[in-house]
Amino acid sequence: MKKVLETIKAVLFTIWLIIGFFGVVIVYGSYVLIKANILEKRKGAKASQEYIRTVVSWFGKVTFKFLNSKISVYGEKNIPQEGPYVIVANHQSIFDIPLILGYIYPTAFIAKKELSMIPILGSFIKRLGSILIDRSNVKSGAIALKKFAKLSQSGEIITIFPEGTRSLDGQVGEFKKGTLLIPFRYNIKILPITIDGTINMSKKGSLFIKPSNINLFIHEPVEPKHFASEGELRECLKSIIGEKVTSEPQLALKETRS
């Protein structure tokens, strides 16, 4: 009976989210994109992008308030004052992106091209300067690396999920070979981020969404020049990020406060 009630609650909550999605994202998002286009024509691309960044940062925080989810952030002092730097995070849920946008920085992402197909949200992801990879095209990865290098060297802040896909159990999977090649090669500072709890909001393969307690750990920046290889850098970051992941977010809260 308990499972039935939980399922009904999850269904109702998901319907509530869909209504909110159309109300906030589709309607308000369309207005924001129109205003951004007008700003670009009148004041230039920089003014337009700054406006977009302000809006998506606000949207990232509002998303979790709307979903009645509590965010606990640790280590905010570790966020660099300016770029370039690369945010490297584990990947638990579709809500990882708004989490980073709202609580770290409205950054560009390296992500699969399917994200660009989401109504309105896809437009925002592209407007942030994100690099979208077509996994069905073998040349897409090489092109993405070139764009990544160019964007990083220009002083931008970029987020990558080295696992390449969402975790099935919340634990940190293997970081794909070559995902940190650009920051390693050009010695671009890396900000490791541990996301703990978004998997409880929405698991991969599930249509249901529910509130959750989420921990966001911002670790001290890592300098790639201190590592002998990209592989060594990958393993170190995986260890740093994975250390704070728990099977139950409340455990992390207790450990941090003790």
Find, among 174, 14, 197, 235, the residue nearest to 92 by Cα.
197
What is the H or E stretch that residue 37 is in?
helix 29-43
CB atoms within 10 A of CB 105: 19
Average pLDDT over residues 160-173: 92
Task: Categorize the per-residue pLDDT at 125 as very low, low, confident or very high, splitting at 50, 70 and 90.
Answer: confident
Q: What are phi and psi of 70, to 5 degrees?
A: -90, 130
Q: Between 99 and 121, where is the model more confident?
A: 99
Find, among 244, 105, 92, the residue nearest to 161 by Cα.
92
| pLDDT value at residue 238 | 97
| pLDDT value at residue 252 | 43
| pLDDT value at residue 121 | 79
* Residues contacting 84, CB < 8 A, separation 6+: 152, 153, 154, 155, 156, 157, 188, 189
* Residues contacting 219, CB < 8 A, separation 6+: 75, 78, 191, 192, 193, 194, 240, 241
Contact 215, 252 (CB under 8 A): yes
| pLDDT value at residue 257 | 40
What are the chain's domains? 69-246 (3.40.1130.10)
Report whether pLDDT(225) > 80. Answer: yes
Q: CA-CA distance, 175 to 231, in Å (whole number)?
A: 9
Task: Categorize the per-residue pLDDT at 247 as very low, low, confident or very high, splitting at 50, 70 and 90.
Answer: low
Query: pLDDT tens, 201-223?
Result: 888 877 778 889 999 999 999 99
Report whether pLDDT(16) > 70. Answer: no
| pLDDT value at residue 138 | 67
Task: Categorize the per-residue pLDDT at 4 as very low, low, confident or very high, splitting at 50, 70 and 90.
Answer: low
Report whether pLDDT(77) > 90. Answer: yes
Contact 59, 31 (CB under 8 A): no
* Model pTM score: 0.85
Window from 58-62, 78-82, 184-188, 252-256 with minimum mean pLDDT:
252-256
Q: CA-CA distance, 67 to 73, in Å (whole number)?
A: 17
Report whether pLDDT(244) > 80. Answer: yes
* Residues contacting 205, CB < 8 A, separation 6+: none
Task: Categorize the per-residue pLDDT at 106 as very low, low, confident or very high, splitting at 50, 70 and 90.
Answer: very high
Average pLDDT over residues 161-185: 92
Report whether pLDDT(12) > 80. Answer: no
Query: pLDDT tens, 36-65?
Result: 999 999 999 999 999 999 999 998 998 898
Mean pLDDT rounded to a whole number for the chain:
86
If you ran DSSP here, which 8-state letter would residue 76 be given?
Answer: G
Report whether pLDDT(165) > 70. Answer: yes
**Helix/strand/coil for 194:** strand
CB atoms within 10 A of CB 226: 10
**Helix/strand/coil for 142:** helix
Token pair 């020049």 in the structure block, residue? 225
Report whether pLDDT(139) > 50. Answer: yes
